[in-house]
Amino acid sequence: MTKRCGYIALAGRPNAGKSTFLNAVLGEKVSIVSDKPQTTRNRILGVYHGDDLQIGFFDLPGIHKPNHAMNRVMMRLVNQGVGDADLILHFIDVSVPLGSGDRFVHEMLGKLDIPIIVVANKMDLVNKSKVLPTLDTIHKEFQPKELIPISAKTGDNRDHLMSIIASYLPEGEFLFQDDMLTDQPIRFMAQELIREKILHYTREELPHAAAVAIESFQYDEARETYEIGAVIYIEKASQRRIVLGQQGSMISKIRRGAQRSLHELLKKPVELDLFVKVSENWRNNDRFLGEINLK
Ligand SMILES: Nc1nc2c(ncn2[C@@H]2O[C@H](COP(=O)(O)OP(=O)(O)OP(=O)(O)O)[C@@H](O)[C@H]2O)c(=O)[nH]1
């Protein structure tokens, strides 16, 4: 049996559904998902294992024009991940009109000498009568060599996409250990799961002002329980009220939700302590970004 193994970068504008696709393909949550753009802040590697196929997927932060330190960091990560890939999947969210964001991504990716497949994602949200015109618009605009409609959420056409991408990967020995799912340290995944709950529960009120740092991470053998302490950093004292909620109701919700997800990740019960601290302007502070692994 001929083996194939290689790297594929998942690119696209924020919110196009890259992380949803990756988690679905891997059958495990390696990348957090939310309905807010720019959820993924740094490059995540997720490894797919098939019988004769291994794929290292880079889930990249959504590509957009950089305007402050965090965005510059994200752009650098984008460039790093894309440069190493054998193939790029350019995700387009077809539930919204094709826009300047998609064109910017297309232009940026076009500068690289790497094959690109355009993935028309969220087809489940497109009215049947609009399917062909939607795909036709993408064809006319980007003239991709391959354009594959899928729904990352429902799984429609995902297997077809997987069979096509396999043919783009080089033949050769496997590069990854057979139990490797991701290159993310477990502490970082824990940090991200807590951030996902903040994004989920605080809705529009606290867009991207929150960062999470794990302060302590221990396993108590006798109790077979993980004890994790984390700090939620916010930019202004006035945001404390949002994170805490009325009589602490919001932080309890975040804590309980995160505890459940951490239990799933670690396969053991988790006791989570959360603290809230103000760190003004953390997004422009390179040292701070380094501390929370965003550099
Ligand atoms: N209906 C529908 N929703 C989807 C689909 N794929 C993703 N979504 C939703 O779109 C939102 C964004 O998905 P993500 O997977 O976080 O998108 P992303 O491209 O990783 O976003 P960034 O991290 O911002 O780059 C989430 O609310 C998903 O549930 C799909 O095929 N159909």
pLDDT of res. 116: 95
Q: Is any atom of ligand 1 closer than 6 Å to the C-beta of 16?
A: yes
pLDDT of res. 39: 67
pLDDT of res. 144: 93
Residues 157 and 240 both lie in one domain = no
Q: In terms of DSSP bridges, do strands 87-93 and 4-12 run parallel, antiparallel, or are they unpaired? A: parallel
Q: Is any atom of ligand 1 closer than 6 Å to the C-beta of 96?
A: no
Specify whether the CB–CB gap between 87 and 169 falls below 8 A: yes
Q: Is any atom of ligand 1 closer than 6 Å to the C-beta of 122?
A: yes
Residue by residue, DSSP assigns 170-210 as PBS---S-TT--BSS-HHHHHHHHHHHHHHHHSGGGSSS--
Residues 192 and 159 both lie in one domain = no
Residues 58 and 15 both lie in one domain = yes
DSSP one-letter code for 28: S
Give the domain extent around 235: 186-291
Q: Cα 18 to chain center, whole Å?
A: 6
Residues 213 and 155 both lie in one domain = no
Q: Is the ipTM of this complex over 0.95?
A: yes
Q: What is the CATH number of the domain that holds 83?
A: 3.40.50.300
Residues 190 and 159 both lie in one domain = no
Mutating to test ligand 1, I would choose from 23, 39, 192 the residue with most ligand atoms within 8 A of its C-beta, which is 39
From ligand 1's centre to the CA of 56, what distance in Å?
Answer: 20
pLDDT of res. 284: 76
Q: Is residue 45 part of a domain?
A: yes
Residues 217 and 109 both lie in one domain = no
pTM above 0.80, yes or no: no
Q: Is residue 179 part of a domain?
A: no
Dihedral (C-alpha) 121, 122, 123, 126: value to the nearest 10 degrees? Answer: -130
Report pLDDT digits (tens) over 222-257.
999 999 999 999 988 888 989 999 999 999 999 999
Residue type for position 285: N
Report pLDDT digits (tens) over 152-173.
999 999 999 999 999 999 999 9
Q: Is any atom of ligand 1 closer than 6 Å to the C-beta of 157?
A: no
Residues 22 and 117 both lie in one domain = yes
Hey, what are 267's tokens? 């396969």
Mean pLDDT per 10-residue section of the chain, whose length is 295 residues:
92 91 87 70 83 91 67 65 87 93 86 91 93 93 94 96 95 87 83 91 75 89 92 89 92 96 90 92 74 62
Q: How many domains does the chain have?
A: 2
**Boundary of a domain, candidates 131, 166, 201:** 166
Q: d(Cα 197, Cα 217) in Å, to the nearest integer?
A: 19
From ligand 1's centre to the CA of 20, what distance in Å?
Answer: 6
